[in-house]
Structure 1
Amino acid sequence: MAYAVITPYIVPVEIQNKKAVNIGDGFILNNLIKLLYPAECKYLFTSRKELSENDIDKINSTKALILAGANQLNDNFIIVPGMSLATLAKIKVPVVPFGIGIHGIPKQNIDMSNTTKEILRAIHERISFSSWRCPLTIQYLNNSLPELLDNFLLTGCPVMYDDKILDDAGFYHQAKTVVVTVTERQDFWDRETKTINFVANKYRKSRKILSLHQDFLEIKSNLQNNQDSIWNTLKIKVLKKYDKTPLSLRNYARDKGFQIFKPTSVDECLSFYNSCDLHIGSRLHAHLYFLSQAKKSFLTYVDERCIGFSNLLEFPICDFNNLNEYFNYDFEIYRKNCINYFTNMQKFVDYLQEKVL
């Protein structure tokens, strides 16, 4: 009952100067493995690099190749770079999407390419069901491949599910330790500083943590050849106190009484979150994880990837200018919807364990 997994959580050395590891992708992988237990994840591969012949041999020594979820599905999705129908034919075991969602960035899910359609059709010739994470993803798939609509299961994301949210225990009400997650890309400054300000003012006596799901400061940009990069501000003495860079956001949070938490592994991050009480911030998978533990969480908008989950589970996407308006949300609405969609997830997991693995 061994399987292999392709995940975006692994960032190859060759692109670490462009791409930061996302701990949220690790959350997905971690919960996927838990859901498929006692089947064993024997091999891990990255979705950011071509598969070698040796990789394919390892995959073929298992029962299935699982494609671990994240926002990977776009108009040109091909599983890994260089994938073709000829390469896919070399993989003799079923290839199974698990909790994958649409890209979420504008113009990435407009018109599915013929190559993507061919690959998804070929995958589904060997499997009865695939798992997709939100209604917007299902709509995109159904519009692009209507002949496969009975194969697409709306399961949500693996990170949504834990015994604590699926049983009848009430949501946790403490706020001794409050976690703020940030997304330090695009026009992040206003959103993240206003969230920090809100938490600093509302929870003056609480321990306050700024948690980094991606450390963009570790990206080794070529500053000499990129004069317009925000990273230029990091190689010279900063003239202003806050210059709207990831580094100055952390200094801003420290000045507001926050500690900085930069997890070095999924286990470290989850262990720390288990000791915390409340989450407010822009990281979707921190939001889903806290809710899975029946702890309150409030998510601010970054891009469209959170809209599908909001539609699925009926939680609010918070305006960072008016965060206090959302604190009367009834979290039992979330629990009810989570339990409802866990039926689909259990159907999918049962199918994999009984028919595929």
Structure 2
Amino acid sequence: MKKYIIVSTYPEYGSKNIGDQLITSALIDVIKFTKGANVEIDIVWREDSWENIKERVFNADAVVFACLAIRPNMSVKEYPFLKNLLKENIPLAVVSAGTSIPVSCVKKSVLNYVSNETKEQLLSLDRNAIFFTTRGYLTQFFCESIGLSNVVFSGDVAFFNQRYKDVSFVEGKKINKIVISDPHHSKLYLRSFNALVLALRAKYNDAEIVVALHGNDAAIKEYVNRSGLKYIEVFKDKDKGLSIYDSADLHVGYRVHAHVSSLKRGVYSYLLEQDGRGCDYGLTINRKISVPSYCQPRGLLEKFMGKFGFNRYAVGVSPVDQIISLVSQDEVLGFHKFLGLEKQLATFSDDIINSIKKLP
């Protein structure tokens, strides 16, 4: 029996971001679909220690990184055991790597996103990995720009789900239920979030509107309680919470994996891009269905003051006006632009299946 280790980004004891669980679950599903249901799969948390995981790693046929989180100093925080893995003769693979490049920073090129140590580790991983794929065009560009030569674009593994493989977008669907996904950095985005809620309430006053809380965020929960909004803490059910999008007609919000979850179900979806992660999807999806809504980079002092409510970097409402104008005109046209988009999404799954076939 084959045994694979998945390095997961799901923070079980932190924010409980359900999008990260979706990534892990989808990767498990695609491995079993491709390699057989009787494979053994073990999950390790990306911030675990080498001492805790090394015995399990040495007994595995391969270690697979689920949406490798490329960050400036990966071996310091995100993957403290990465340097140990790279020293050993262990088969490694990367599925749908992603970045969070500070796209709102005008002073810094994407080429300067990571430290020299992280760059060397990525180059080593690229040279030695069975395969190394990325989930977005910006991430792919970054990887190629720093010298990775084996990396290829595949799209996000989270789009994989055999249950929805035959789903197609339908033109002119009536909007009876809207799901709004909550923002990261809620204190900076409360004004934006409030504007979005008010705009959708005004435009669709007969529709059911539900807020999906993708992470454990006290500030955004306080807001929805105060506003009398219907909400569901989807992060509390990591396996079935995202089924909220099964019954949606429209999603508008901030979470990239709310966007993914909606699109793969054939639900009209619009994303407010908060950072380099959202930008990655905005560049990659073959339709204009997202709008940048970036906050300006903050220094340590601004981040500290923000904890006490002094958020002079709070995001404005213009991106909300832009996204509502996009939704409004698309509705006039019957949401025709979504037709056929499922074909691009299917190529993501096909490419990832072909990569997984290379695992020993």
TM-score normalized by structure 2? 0.77
- Aligned counterpart in structure 2 of residue 246 of structure 1, from 215, 220, 224: 220
The corresponding residue for 1:134 is 136
Amino acid at match of 1:335: E
Figure out how many residues of one structure are paired with residues of the other and give that number.
311
Deviates more, 1:304-313 or 1:124-133: 124-133
C-alpha separation between the residues in 2 aligned to 1:260 and 1:268? 16
Equivalent position of 2:168 in the other structure: 169
Can you list the C-alpha shifts for 1:59-109, whole angstroms capped at 9, x where unaligned?
222211111116x2123223844336445324x431211111112335695
Partner of 2:21: 26
- After superposition, residues 235-274 of structure 1 pair within 5 angstroms as 245-254=219-228, 258-263=229-234, 264-274=236-246
Task: Tell me, in whole angstroms, the C-alpha distance in 2 between the residues paired with 1:312 and 1:321.
Answer: 23
* Aligned-residue offset at 1:162: 4.2
Q: Compute the RMSD of aligned alpha carbons.
A: 2.6
How many angstroms apart in 2 are the aligned matches of 1:182 and 1:163?
A: 27
Corresponding position of 2:59: 61
Q: Secondary structure of 2:339's partner?
A: helix
Between 22-31 and 308-317, report the one with greater CA deviation. 308-317
Please state whether the residue corresponding to 2:125 is helix, strand or coil. helix
Gapped regions of structure 1 (runs ≥ 5): 218-244
Q: Which amino acid aligns with 1:278?
A: L
Q: Encode CA deviations 1:171-194: one digit per residue, 9 max, x unaligned.
A: 372433211111151521121011
Correspondence for 1:100: 97
CA distance in 2 between counterparts of 1:322 and 1:153 reads 33
Where do residues 172-321 of structure 1 align in structure 2 (5 Å cutoff)? 173-185=173-185, 186-217=187-218, 245-254=219-228, 258-263=229-234, 264-314=236-286, 315-318=288-291, 319-321=319-321
Q: Distance in 1 between matches of 2:97 and 2:247?
A: 29
- Asked if the contact 1:112/1:144 (under 8 Å) is kept, the reply is no
Amino acid of the structure 1 residue aligned with 2:53: D
SS of residue matched to 1:325: helix
Secondary structure of 2:117's counterpart equals helix
Within a 5 Å distance, the mapping from 1:44-83 to structure 2 comes to: 44-52=43-51, 54-69=52-67, 72-78=69-75, 80-83=78-81
Q: Who is 1:234 aligned against?
A: none
Q: Closer, same or farther in 2 for the Cα pair 1:108/1:33, shift >3 Å?
A: farther
Using the TM superposition, name which of 285-294 and 54-63 deviates more: 54-63
Amino acid paired to 1:96: A
Does the 8 Å CA contact 2:182/2:220 hold for their aligned counterparts?
no
Which residue does the alignment assign to 1:37?
Answer: 32
Which runs of no fewer than 5 residues in structure 2 stay unpaired? 292-318
Instruction: Kindly indicate whether the alpha-carbon contact (under 8 Å) linking 2:61 and 2:91 is maintained by their aligned counterparts in 1.
Output: yes
TM-score (norm 1): 0.78
For 1:200 and 1:99, the matched residues in 2 are separated by 36
C-alpha deviation, 1:154, in angstroms: 0.5
